[in-house]
Amino acid sequence: MQGVPDVHEMIPAERRARIVDILKERGAVRVSSLSEDLGVSEMTIRRDLERLGSDGVLSRTHGGAILKRHMAQEPLYTESATTHTEEKERLAKAAAGTIRQGDTIFLSSGTTAARVLRHVSPDIEARIITENVGAVGEAQGPNLEIILLGGVYRPRSNTLDGPLSVELVGRFHAATMILGVDGFDLEEGMTTPSVGIASVERAMISQTRGDVIVLADSSKIGVVADVVICGFDQVDVVMVDDGVDTAVRDEMTRLGVKCVVV
């Protein structure tokens, strides 16, 4: 069509803009497929991805990239509870299966973490320590002892946080922490928009003797919020749904994290 340049004639800025468009459509891309789609060498694509990465647009994976999306405000708990429910349910069930007889467990904020308690076997006696008010209503097992941390109530996230919450966390050691996240990025780590939530969950991680297990459905991949909870060096296991690109899973393995697909 007259006036529309062939992909071979694109200047670098146009080509990078097209790469961003493709990322928005697909979420994750590979160098080889971009090279074929745009009619340029893989070396050119790699340079473009490096530039976009330095601009904070994407995170690199081995052989490709994923789009970064900024989260400025924590989502409403009531809205989160009705999105990606099938994936969250699978993740919650898998996480519940890691809870053993007599365990003390730190459970984070978020709707996926709250769902974990509905899947704990009724025969399991365990202590759950959480700032997640929503988790209380999900508990099914009669043998679960739930300790709800004190603090300031945040209606938007349905949590308790603040200095009192952090202080109370320091009175326990847990066998495992189950961490649902707002943001999950291969470069930025696990993030949230809330300073209060991040403070509580960092305290939980420091008091965990065993595994830190992260739950991340595919909608969380590439999301970056402003407050860091932890990096991958503090994570032992990541549970994801089967909608997460294989390149992302491979990168987690390369980072030394066990990736479990449910």
Q: Are residues 158 and 31 in the same domain?
A: no
Residue 7: predicted pLDDT: 47
Euclidean distance between the first and the last CA atom of the chain, given in angstroms as a whole number: 46
Give the number of other Cβ atoms within 10 Å of residue 124's Cβ.
Answer: 15
CATH assignment of the domain containing 161: 3.40.50.1360
Q: Are residues 82 and 39 in the same domain?
A: no
Q: Are residues 34 and 100 in the same domain?
A: no
Give the chain's domain count.
2
Domain end call among 49, 67, 85? 67
Q: Are residues 110 and 218 in the same domain?
A: yes
Domain end call among 31, 47, 67? 67
Q: Are residues 130 and 171 in the same domain?
A: yes
Tell me 261's DSSP state: E
Domain end call among 43, 67, 91? 67
Residue 118: predicted pLDDT: 94
List helix spans (H) across 55-194.
77-80, 85-96, 111-116, 133-138, 163-169
CATH assignment of the domain containing 19: 1.10.10.10
CA distance 173 to 226: 28
- Element containing residue 238 per DSSP (H, E): strand 237-240
246 in a domain, yes or no? yes
Q: Are residues 54 and 152 in the same domain?
A: no
Q: What is the pTM of this model?
A: 0.85
Q: Are residues 164 and 247 in the same domain?
A: yes
Residue 30: predicted pLDDT: 87
Q: Are residues 257 and 186 in the same domain?
A: yes
Residue 103: predicted pLDDT: 97
Q: Are residues 83 and 41 in the same domain?
A: no
72 in a domain, yes or no? no
1 in a domain, yes or no? no
Q: Are residues 63 and 82 in the same domain?
A: no
Q: Are residues 58 and 117 in the same domain?
A: no
2 in a domain, yes or no? no
pLDDT along the chain (262 residues), means of 10: 51 88 84 88 89 84 84 89 94 97 97 96 95 92 90 95 96 98 93 96 98 96 94 97 89 93 96
User: How many H-runs (helices) and E-runs (strands) does the chain carry?
Assistant: 10, 17
- Domain residues for the domain of 114 are 77-261
Q: Are residues 113 and 183 in the same domain?
A: yes
Per the document, the length of the chain is 262
Residue 2: predicted pLDDT: 44
Residue 9: predicted pLDDT: 65
